[in-house]
Amino acid sequence: MSALELYDLTAHEVHDKLASGETSSKEVTESVLRRIEKVEPSIQSYMLVTADRALEQAEQADARRRAGECIGPLDGVPIALKDLLCTRGLPTTCSSKILENFVPPYDATVVERVSSAGCVALGKTNLDEFAMGSSTENSAFQVTRNPWGLDRVPGGSSGGSGAAVAAGECLVALGSDTGGSIRQPASFCGIVGMKPTYGRVSRYGLVAFASSLDQIGPMTKDVRDCALLLQVISGHDSMDSTSADIDVPDFTAALERDVKGRRAGVVKELMGEGIDADVREAVEQAIGTLEDLGVTCEEVSLPHCRYSLATYYLIAPAEASSNLARYDGVRYGHRTAERVEDIVDMFSKTRGEGFGPEVRLRIMLGTYALSAGYYDAYYVKALKVRTLIKRDCEKAFEHCDVLISPTSPTVAFEVGERADDPLQMKMADLCTMFGNLAGLPGISVPCGFSDGLPVGLQIVGKAFDEETVLRVAYAYEQAAGYHRERPVVGG
């Protein structure tokens, strides 16, 4: 395969070519950078491309390989990083004007880990401001487009990473998932995206949105790449008090295990009202494929799942209200240049200028839910419902190994289509939120198309049982073959 097509390969395919000497990391990186140059004006997935640094890292990977010192299967593989992961010496904006000129003095733990694995960092990808959104239209700087249809959104908030993987602008990427922000854009962009169990991957250096929900995870072209990247970023980190001190299994070894006899629960509440007919049909066909593979599929109920949206939009904004209080124009980030009367006026003008409308809305909503007289009525009640949702999942897992649903109720919608309908915008994460509220691992894999746009199948597993999730996802993927499809963009 020529260098011009290297950007379209998976990471494990590139690894095989690197190992055989058929190509070099520099050639692969150059191929991806040419691809970025060609399609980025249409896609706008990147906030920052660090081409010179990437080529230098690629040459270092090639030198290691020539010396017989290859670090591992991702050594020399180009990766994109969501722009809310701190990167030492490089801007980390969270796609917000309030952090437009912020350059962290340290790397996030996951950034350190992919660097130690030899990955070639291409740059930082666009997102909804502070990860608050489902379409990447809330970025303060640009709107990312879906490679499958440039009039469509790529999903959010990790839309930049999802679009970059789908368009061949990187081989793998990192995103973050607070209510579906990896899985939903993975579904919209026809790629694989995984939210690990809460605590499986360190959040140190991830700019916080909702600390009890946020989780970093891989976005890749297939499940094997997902397992490889998850392997690299997983593991305990003393810098993160919520990081689980638990052994990390060999995720790639799990892929080859037979799924015959596994039990999948099809979530009744996520297969009916609100789910597009074409999406439901694609998921039903995927269920048939799983049954052909020997997986027993049966309907299960998560009765409190219907309250996920309301519960999420009390808990997440409440935590955001607290987390975003640090952006005050004093310690770092934007400070208003206008004349101010006092420090309160400075705070108000700074935050008014620096935060976009969606972020301001969520801060106000969260502050209201935490305020005196409303704390018990809203926030505490939401925490109780969160416990009920978690118990529903635990009960379902008494009889099932995984839970199955659509990843999103619809395929990618048009840019601007839901700008004036905030409820419909938030409904895009209807199927994914329960996984965050319960802290469970979940993956989205391509399972078909509707009007030429990808549909995603969501597979959710028990806490810290990413092995089973990946095994079922891999078996389905290999049988269905949708992961081989690529969008035509840029000629």
What is the three-state SS of the chain?
A: CCHHHHHHCCHHHHHHHHHHCCCCHHHHHHHHHHHHHHHHHHHCCEEEECHHHHHHHHHHHHHHHHCCCCCCCCCCCEEEEECCECCCCCCCCCCCHHHCCCCCCCCCHHHHHHHHCCCEEEEEECCCHHHCCCCCCCCCCCCCCECCECCECCCCCCHHHHHHHHCCCCCEEEEECCCCCCHHHHHHHCCEEEECCCCCECCCCECCCCCCCCCEEEEECCHHHHHHHHHHHECCCCCCCCCCCCCCCCHHHHHCCCCCCCEEEEEHHHCCCCCCHHHHHHHHHHHHHHHHCCCEEEEECCHHHHHHHHHHHHHHHHHHHHHHHHCCCCCCCCCCCCCCCCHHHHHHHHHHHHCCHHHHHHHHHHHHHHCCCCHHHHHHHHHHHHHHHHHHHHHHCCCCCEEEEECCCCCCCECCCCCCCHHHHHHCCCCCHHHHHHCCCEEEEEEEEECCEEEEEEEEECCCCHHHHHHHHHHHHHHHCHHHCCCCCCC
Q: Which of 25, 95, 96, 157 is catalytic?
A: 157
181 is a catalytic site residue:
yes
**221 labelled catalytic:** no
Asked if 157 is an active-site residue, the reply is yes
Active-site option among 82, 124, 221, 462: 82
Q: Kindly name the residue from 25, 95, 176, 181 that is annotated as catalytic.
A: 181
Residues with active-site annotation: 82, 157, 181
